[in-house]
Amino acid sequence: MIMKMENKPTVVDLFAGAGGLSVGFKDAGFKIIAANEIVKVFGETYLLNHPDTKLFTGDIRNITVDEFKKECNINGKKVDVVVGGPPCQGFSMAGSRDPKDPRNSLFKEFVRFIEGLKPKFFVMENVKGILSAKTVNKESVKEIIM
């Protein structure tokens, strides 16, 4: 017997791209309540895949957690999980591994949202090279792990 979940656990997807992580969590019985994507065409694709999710299209660095909650109509709603894949081009073994790539610090925005949304758990997808890249200093690695 399959039981229908009336109160599905909720998810916020940051750096969502086309919504691959959201698909996995939705298929597992979660409700995706909000997402963020800076690249307009990726956001459009996300909405095709997840038309019921409120999407904030813009630079996550330019919005506070409270503004995001208001914009995405999640004020007062419990967020069970935050998922996301901060950009990895500066860390990837296949990428440039450029220490000056401005996207290298975007994982800190993911951490900021974790601290602000206070989910029960989070999933941060990234690349193998993130912990060994010269683009990340030891303090940043500690920040990621903490």
- The catalytic residue among 34, 82, 83, 88 is 88
Q: Yes or no: say if 95 and 25 are a contact pair by the CB < 8 Å rule.
A: no
What is the rounded distance in angstroms from the CA atom of residue 84 to the CA atom of residue 86?
6
Q: What is the 3-state secondary structure (H, E, C) of 66-126?
A: HHHHHHCCCCCCCCCEEEECCCCCCCCCCCCCCCCCHHHHCHHHHHHHHHHHCCCEEEECC
87 forms beta bridges with none
72 flagged as catalytic = no
Q: Yes or no: say if 82 and 12 are a contact pair by the CB < 8 Å rule.
A: yes
Question: What phi and psi values does residue 6 have, to the nearest 5 degrees?
Answer: -75, -45
**Active-site amino acid positions:** 88
